[in-house]
A and B are shown apart, each in its own frame.
Chain A
Amino acid sequence: MILSSIKTGLAQVWKSKRMVLIFFLANLSFALVLMLPFRAAVSNFAGETLMGTKLAGHLPIDFIFELMKNNKSLFSIYGTLFMLVPASYWLLSLFLSGGAFATFARGDGYSSPAFWAGAATYFGRFNRLFLWSLPVFAVLLCLQFLETGFQRLIFGSDPYEYVKYWGGWVKYGLRVISFVLCAMVYDYARIHVVTTGETRMRVSLWHGIRTVFGNLGRTFALAFGLFLCGALVLAIYNPIADSLAAPNAFVVLTLFVLQQAYMLFRMLLRLTLYSSQLFLSNKLAGAPAPLEISTDPQGLEGAAA
């Protein structure tokens, strides 16, 4: 069921390639907003020096310290930008996810009006759903403290360092699992909103929780499998990117292409996850998939009523 979900998910994403591009461009443009002041500072500081070329090789750490020391204004700029941009990006992603879920629910590939209508329709509800989900997220994130408790219980308050060390890794693993579970609950709740037109977010949240934990093996395997896939490709990407260090335009261009290819892959992965989860959710509910639903906001609201 997992593999067939991923297969169907991928097929659905393939039918909606433009959506991958939309998600990618949104990500790229917000990151550009964050990056440009940094680039301007680097260019101003080192753009007419030999450091400007040296930076194409391995990063000289001296340079980073000098840049920070001599560009104090960067800190105030980033103090603001790091608050605003990620928050705005998160909202935009949430907005776009409505379009993506609506598109996958329709099952007939990307259509611009349907996508944007879906995005607009569910944005408010997804926000409310997020607020409803916060206590659930908080509980799930407490999972990591299981390690703290067990460590204290078994090894006392003065454990050897290897207990702390391996305990730290266990805690890390539990945090990863918590984040995956939070995302899963939120995804399945959103799927419920889109597939049923539900307007009471506590109902969708409850449905999300039931879907995730009622079928934990399958839902978790699907989400964690795709998460691992992303991590694995990152692990392969990293040493390759590190090795692309030479004062050579071709090398720099290759690095840029590789980076963007990876980000495109991440977007593909995210949409595949949405689509596969939607398929799995329908399977678990015994419903035929994909489900034809209206993208007309009024119609959806009406159906729910």
Chain B
Amino acid sequence: MESKTCTPRLLLTLVFLLLPISGRSQEAPVLFQPALSPRIASYNIEVTLESAQKKLHGRELLFWHNQTSATISELQFHLYLNGFRNTRSTYMLGTSNPVRSRRIKEDGWGYIEVDAISVSYDTEMIPSLALSRPSEAATMIADLTDITPEIEFIQPDIESPDDKSVFSVPLPRPLPPGGKVIVAVDFTAKLPEPPYARTGAKAEYVFAGQWFPKIGVHTDGQWNCHQFHSRTNFFADFGVYNVWITVPEDNVVGATGLEVAVTTNDDGTATHYYHAEDVHDFAWTASPEFVEVTGKSQDVDIRVLMQPDHADQSQRQLEAAKLAVRYFQDWYGDYPFPNLTVVDPRRGAAASGGMEYPTLITVGTGYGIPAGMKLPEMVTIHEFGHNYWYHLLASNEFEESWLDEGINTYTDIQIMPDAYPGRGNFLNAMGLVLDIGTYHRAQYMGLPDADPVNRTSWGFYSGQSYTVNSYPKPGLILTTLQNYLGWDKMLEAMRTYVERWRFRHPKARDFFDVLNEVSGENLDWFFQQAFETNSILDYSVTRVFSREVKPPKGFDHTLSTVDSDTALTRTDKENDSSLAAATDETDTTARPDSSSPGQLYESGVNIRRLGDFKFPVEIEVIFENGETVRESWDGQELWKKLRYTKPTRLVSATVDPDGKIPLDVNLTNNSKTLEKQTLGVNKISSRTLFWLQFLLEAPETMHSFMLLNDIF
């Protein structure tokens, strides 16, 4: 663990000691001095929940700092909730499950309206406004220019004229580099019910994600403010958030950052004031039903908000969160924030589960999920992992989704087996055994080559291709790379990447550069194939043979069939099947095959590269006398033939004998044996036969499969 840039916990304690338990005015703590991130977009937001209608009434003050070298003449904002506005939004048109959108009830749709937007250049006021509630600050800002009539909905990515997920608005006067602007926005939002794609409400439960007008990122000389696509996560600038959330008084609230104070109001509501620094998003949740459990892992305070019907799993969820914090801090670097909130979504609101926000994650479990089913643990580890790749590093997930989800899947694949050793580190229940790597490999094999990994999220062939290329495939690519570089080097590279690029929005090239630098090797040959092409990696041993060497005939031969045991010969000629005798310098352990003393055998192994992906591999050849030969092949050509002359027959040949290349789409063809291998075939046939016999005899037992659907 590294030391913090300051001592936020100490500061925090002091601040809390000075705070009234319930009161109007509250000073937010200073968490990070100096700031950890370039605070480009900071927000003060007041939001009131209208419980019955699932509506949010909000007022937002955005302090935006032009840290680019460009003069800005317009602003662009995301209105994510408009993805759920109707069936004609970009989100709904792109969804791979249109049936689901058709099933949304009339009052189940969500939307967000900008009621008013105005701009001020009165930046002198910013320091004094920094912690002010927008309703109080409005009167303090001079020069507010109403630009509401100038709002224009735009669709920068794909044509989708009815989409209202992005709007542009011209500034009254251009903002030069280094300039600051205050934007005041009044908005009304309706959350989808039940939650849809991460956000929404269900009965008494509210989960507000992507809920406020959010400015895009100005980078590379232009606005990067993509439409809300069905297949995407997000991208935003860092800043400081002060958010006042007003909900019914009996609600338990959880949100990004730290709760500074709670104020009770006369109308049966309470206002929860949250403060977060160096974050790029803000989500909150409220429910009177939450069961709260707290704990601590290393220097991080953890608060778990469980549903009452999952209360018996609170400790399990807390332990998973503790484990996640421990692993990530130990392996990948410091998590600089003092706390983490873990939210368990309500029954019927699973769509709000399994999502990441700065310092707040939503997970997912179910009543009665057995301990051997590690899905809740995996989701918790995964979502906390996002607090590194999505939050600290904050890559552009619209354009390079794998930099978050893919690296995160890679870290899942490393952590799960280490945290839960033994068979079935992902699932070991009800007779089913599944490892996390196998689970991801199965997904990957479903569609390994429809697209290159590095694509805009809406540019993939299909939803399945987006998923494969954002999650399991990059996870397996990086696991393959780790096996190539070695654990220590890979870990060092990952730590360097986190350390160097935190709060800086790295791109794929930045990640590759760190790996090249730390490994001391130019790995671009690997990155190019793995991320920029759809190449398949598949090596196969296609033929093995052993035959007695017959006495030579003709003129001028040197090979003897009755050589001594040191006269082992081998040829290793790439792309050349001809046999030539050469003394083997490496094989000194061989014993002559006792069954046929003096007899020499010519043995051969043919290996083919069936896919376009070129990757160096090892080949292991085993002989009858127990001798094992290891060869290396750079995999550049389409095939390789190995030839041996030894006083023993060959037994088997295996490419990638240590299983270092999970990216290989067919592991079964990685080996070939001289003899038929019936033992395993008989075993699996025998087990299959038994279950077929049983099901023929008792077909009604098939109804047991319905049980899973009934209970979960």
Contacts and interface: CB of A to CB of B under 8 A. Distances in A.
Interface stretch (A158-166, A185-193, A203-211): A158-166
Interface in A1-42: 27-28, 30-32, 34-35, 38-39, 42
Contacts of B693: 27-28, 31, 259, 263
A169 B307 CA distance: 22
Given A38-B688, A86-B696, 6 more contacts: A47-B681, A161-B367, A162-B309, A165-B368, A169-B707, A179-B703
A171 B710 contact: yes
Interface string A26-68: 0110111011001100110111111111111111111101110
26 contacts: A31-B692, A31-B693, A35-B688, A35-B689, A39-B685, A42-B685, A52-B678, A53-B679, A55-B681, A56-B682, A61-B442, A62-B438, A62-B441, A62-B442, A67-B668, A85-B696, A86-B696, A158-B203, A161-B367, A162-B367, A165-B367, A165-B712, A168-B712, A175-B703, A179-B703, A241-B690
A281 B606 CA distance: 70
A167 B710 CA distance: 8
Contact of B445 (A55, A65, A245): A65
B475 to A, nearest CB: 15
Contact of A50 (B307, B673, B681): B673
A247 interface: yes
Contact of A49 (B433, B434, B668, B700): B668
Nearest to B620: A50
Contacts of A259: 686-687, 689-690, 693
A130 interface: no
A154 to B, nearest CB: 16
Given A86-B699, A259-B686, A54 B309 contact: no
Contact of B666 (A66, A249, A260): A66
A161 B680 contact: no
Contact of A56 (B309, B680, B698): B680
A102 B160 CA distance: 74
Nearest to B711: A168
B367 A263 contact: no
A260 B669 CA distance: 32
Given A69-B445, A168-B711, A51 B696 contact: no
A127 interface: no
A51 B671 contact: yes
A120 interface: no
Nearest to B699: A86
A48 B676 contact: yes
Most buried by B among A30, A49, A167, A168: A49
Interface of A: 27-28, 30-32, 34-35, 38-39, 42-43, 45-63, 65-67, 69-70, 85-86, 89-90, 158, 160-162, 164-165, 167-169, 171-172, 175, 179, 230, 238, 241-242, 245, 247-249, 252, 255-256, 259-260, 262-263, 266-267, 270
A255 B682 CA distance: 11
B545 to A, nearest CB: 12
B677 A89 contact: no
Interface in B428-447: 431, 433-435, 438, 441-442, 445
B630 interface: no
Contacts of A27: 693, 696-697
Given A49-B669, A51-B671, A35 B681 contact: no
B673 A49 contact: yes
B667 interface: yes
A245 to B, nearest CB: 8
Contacts of A171: 710
Contact of B707 (A61, A168, A245, A256): A168
Contacts of B348: 158
B710 A47 contact: no
Contacts of B706: 172, 175
A7 B64 CA distance: 88
Interface residues of B, number: 62
B347 interface: yes
B195 to A, nearest CB: 15
A169 B433 contact: no
Nearest to A32: B689
Nearest to A89: B696
B711 A55 contact: no
B692 A58 contact: no
Contacts of A247: 679-680
Contact of A263 (B347, B434, B690): B690
A39 B679 CA distance: 12
A259 B682 CA distance: 13
Nearest to A61: B438
A263 B668 contact: no
A35 B686 CA distance: 9
B366 interface: yes
Contact of B347 (A35, A89, A160): A160
B654 interface: yes
B411 to A, nearest CB: 21
A66 B266 CA distance: 64
B421 to A, nearest CB: 16
A160 B306 CA distance: 13
A59 B684 contact: yes
Contact of B677 (A50, A65, A245, A263): A50
B181 to A, nearest CB: 46
Given A39-B685, A62-B667, A69-B445, A169 B696 contact: no
Report which residue of A67, A70, A162 has the largest number of chain B beta carbons within 10 angstroms of its beta carbon.
A162
Contacts of A161: 307, 309-310, 347, 366-368
Contacts of A162: 309, 367-368
A90 to B, nearest CB: 8
A158 B309 CA distance: 12
Interface in B294-309: 307-309
Contacts of B307: 161
B700 to A, nearest CB: 4
A256 B666 CA distance: 29
B280 to A, nearest CB: 34
B711 A165 contact: yes
B710 A252 contact: no
B710 to A, nearest CB: 3
Contacts of A66: 445, 666-668
Contact of A47 (B308, B368, B667, B677): B677
Contacts of B591: none
A56 to B, nearest CB: 4
Contacts of B445: 65-66, 69
Given A27-B693, A48-B676, A247-B680, A61 B433 contact: yes
Contacts of B680: 46, 51-57, 247
A119 to B, nearest CB: 18
B420 interface: no
B683 A55 contact: yes
Given A48-B676, A52-B681, A256 B696 contact: no
A158 B193 CA distance: 14
Would you list the 6 A-B pairs with minimal beta carbon distance, nearest first? A52-B677, A55-B680, A168-B710, A168-B711, A161-B367, A160-B309
A39 B694 contact: no
A164 B711 contact: yes
A23 to B, nearest CB: 9
A52 B669 CA distance: 11
Contacts of B704: 172
B469 interface: no
Contacts of B367: 160-162, 164-165
B711 A160 contact: no
Contacts of A38: 685, 688
A238 B692 CA distance: 15
